[in-house]
Amino acid sequence: MKRMIHFSIIFIAAILFVNNPLTSEYVLGLKAGSIIASKQKDPLYNEIVSRSAQYYIPPQDAKIDRVWKAIPGLNGIKVDIDASYKKMKADGEFKEEKLVFQQVLPKLQLNDLPPSPIYKGHPEKPMVSFIINVAWGNEYITDILATLKKHNVSASFFLEGRWAQNNPELAKMIEAAGHEIGNHSYSHPDMAKISSSTIREEIQKANEVIKALTDQPVVWFGPPSGSFRDETVQIAAQENLKTVLWTVDTVDWKKPTPEQLLKRVLGKVHNGAMILMHPTDATAKSLDRLIIQLQQQNLQIGTVSELLNSDRPMANHNFKNGNNIENN
């Protein structure tokens, strides 16, 4: 009888042990530890670990530059060792083209900086952005939108609030085409000369009109004619807008020929450039060739938000042996 009781106690204890969630965690931990130990004994895994340092690119923090003011940060790159090992394990040998990479965020992002104007993206980011200020030029907007759609390019349209109010269908057309919408004031005043209260009113009124017409949050403010003072930037920041300008100007309002416009832009373009344009005849006629020639220079074209975030474009990012890398 005692033997039966003893056996029953052992049996119940065994069931409780197996069904205990802590036991399951313990067993899973043992399995994970076994897998890690197995990897660490594999020469291939160790080779990936030892080689990973040569591919590491440190992230770069956003900063306030003495000349260019706010400069966004740029993600770093590191090898995803486990994902790379998984891709190479079947072959059993190290192959650079099968490396998988992860982006590493900088400690300081643009949002961490004090209010400051932004003229360009990070100088190592092979991307540019079209800033299209709209207060007139209705007759050219559909052609510009068609060309952008043809090349699958997104731009940032900065709308004057008064224009958007008077042309709601065109404003909605721009938004429906997937482009970013920015604030270009309500009535296009000189932001360096008007009072503080008028600056705020101009920004708020334009925001209200844009938000009423589109579903997009407005995050960027483009002062008319690039005119502003420090207080303009501060007030825009209080309205949750960052102030953006440009480094390359098409000067399309002076009615250049398409060839003149192309020469002007391509002679000054650089990594991180923000390219200012308007809905004009010169821009409409040159935009197709401009996009093609920028892309031939391995420059991606994105919105202001895409340009100024810290993401590192990976599609054309090559390492020592010219291999395209996979971003994880």
Where are the domains positioned within the chain? Answer: 2-41, 43-111, 115-308
Helices vs. strands in the chain: H and E counts, helices first: 12, 13
How far apart are the C-alpha atoms of 244 and 226, rounded to whole Å?
9
pTM of structure: 0.85
pLDDT for 10-68, tens place per residue?
544 444 444 555 544 443 443 444 445 557 779 999 999 999 999 999 999 999 999 99
pLDDT for 210-250, tens place per residue?
999 998 889 999 999 999 999 999 999 999 999 999 999 99
Which of 196, 300, 180 lies closest to 244 in space, CA to CA? 180
> What's the CATH number for 115-308?
3.20.20.370
CA atoms within 13 A on the CB side of 234: 6
With contact defined as beta carbons under 8 Å apart, do 168 and 144 qualify?
no
How far apart are the C-alpha atoms of 214 and 203, rounded to whole Å?
16
The partner residues of 78 in beta bridges, in order of sequence, read: 102
- Average pLDDT for residues 133-142, to the nearest whole number? 98
The partner residues of 101 in beta bridges, in order of sequence, read: 79, 327
Residue 52, classified by CB atoms within 10 Å of its CB into exposed (0-12), middle (13-18) or buried (19+), is middle
